[in-house]
Amino acid sequence: MWKKFLSRLGISAAKVDLVLHRPHVRLGETLEGEFLLEGGSVAQHIRNLDVVLQLEVQAEGKAYRKTAAVIPVASSFTIQPSERKVLPFSYTLPHHLPISRPTVRYTFVTRLDIADGVDAYDQDAIHILPPTALDQVFSALAALGFREKPASGSITPYGQEFSFFPTGEFQGIVQEVEFFALVEGEGVRLYMEIDVRHGFGGEREMKRELLITHEQLRDSAAAARLLREAIEEAVQAAGAFGQLSGHPLATPHSPIYSHPVGHYSPVHHSHHGGHGWAGAIGGFAAGMLAGMVAEELLDDAVDDVADGLDVDDWFDGGDGFDGGDWL
């Protein structure tokens, strides 16, 4: 009787521990592990064993937490005193979650729902890596001397925004490069804003869309070349002053600007078969946060249109990237 009373208070009760085979996983890949269950001092009926994937986003100095997924594991079983059970765990990550960054964190919260007792919990941090194709984009930018900013990976109404600053040949000419990424069957589509220094202390924001195919991404030099040309086009269009790659930025008919880079469309001709921002990396969290913390996280103008935003809204002069010029 005394043991049963203590178990209802959570003392000498059943316990659970989720052990992941690896806590780092890419979007779209499968996390695997096992649950280690240990019975307490008395037999206890378990109503449910489930795992919650909890997303935490830091924004404006606040932490916002939301359930990204609930993963049912087992239900209605009894664990005997001191019994040890091992149950397998497997979960495939959705493709459109945000990837882990300093402002984006994930935790698996395991709950053992004990009838007539205090539930047992376990927490395990996981790190969601970029899909391989996006990682290849990051590597190509690094090859050009760009470094990811500490605040990169923030959640916006359009998805997860990545931002890089130059340390190499573009230093002093480009302020930063920001983009959203949409991983497609053909490759990675980037919706870019390139902030180009202009005049004395000013800058111009140049927008463009760039598709880098998977074949090009597998060739790191080819991917870096496409990104270089896209950035050079933006610099040229912005009318920046100075030297770049050993030649003056002056003539629009210079060979490096004589053809479009990748695939892109001007503002009024962009249609992608219905691709929406929800399909972008982090699109899930963007929609989630728009409803969860609209007044605190998003300004009033964005709040009015945050639900159901599409790529075309951004092309047609929406508030994504706060305006700017298209090439």
CATH number for the domain that contains residue 66: 2.60.40.640
pLDDT band, very low/low/confident/very high, at 284 (cuts 50, 70, 90): low
135: confidence class by pLDDT, cuts 50, 70, 90: very high
With 60 as the cut, is the pLDDT of residue 44 above it?
A: yes
- 265 falls in which pLDDT band (50, 70, 90)? very low
Handedness of CA 164, 170, 175, 178 (dihedral sign): negative
Instruction: Quote the mean pLDDT of the chain.
Output: 78
Residues 96 and 138 in one domain: no
d(CA 263, CA 187): 11
Q: Please check whether residues 167 and 310 belong to one and the same domain.
A: yes
Q: How would residue 238 be classed by pLDDT, with cut points 50, 70 and 90? A: confident
pLDDT at 256: 30
Percentage of the chain lying above the pLDDT 70 cut: 70
Assigned domain for 121 exists: yes
pLDDT at position 304 over 60: no
206 vs 269: which has the higher pLDDT? 206
- Across the range 64-88, mean pLDDT stands at 94
The pLDDT, as a whole number, for residue 325 is: 59
Answer yes or no: is pLDDT of 99 > 80.
yes
Give the amino acid at 84: R
Claim to verify: residue 59 and residue 117 sit in the same structural domain: yes
Q: Are residues 47 and 150 in the same domain?
A: no
The encoded tokens of residue 82 equal 């001191």
Report the domain count for the chain.
Answer: 2
- What would you report as the CA-atom Rg of the chain, rounded to the nearest whole angstrom? 25
- Whether 33 and 104 share a structural domain: yes
Q: What domain range includes position 213?
A: 132-326
Domain limit, last residue, from 129, 162, 179: 129
Last residue of some domain: 102, 129, 156? 129
Domain shared by 246 and 146, yes or no:
yes
5 in any annotated domain: no
Closest CA to 210 of 181, 237, 238: 181
The reported pLDDT for the residue numbered 94 is: 87
Q: Enter the pTM of the model.
A: 0.74
Distance CA 289, CA 122 (A): 26
Mean pLDDT of 233-261: 50
Pair 207, 146 in one domain: yes
Instruction: Write down which residue in 109, 129, 149 finishes a domain.
Output: 129
H helices of 129-219, in order, are: 132-143, 214-218
Tokens 């964005």 -> residue: 302
> What's the rounded mean pLDDT across residues 13-18?
95
In a domain, 176, yes or no: yes
For residues 259 and 307, membership in a common domain is answered with: yes
Asked if the model's pLDDT at residue 315 lies above 80, the reply is no
98 and 216 belong to one structural domain: no
Q: pLDDT class for 59, splitting at 50, 70, 90?
A: confident
Residues 250 and 148 in one domain: yes
Is 320 in the same domain as 173? yes
Asked whether residue 143 falls in the same domain as residue 29, the answer is no
Answer yes or no: is 3 within a domain: no
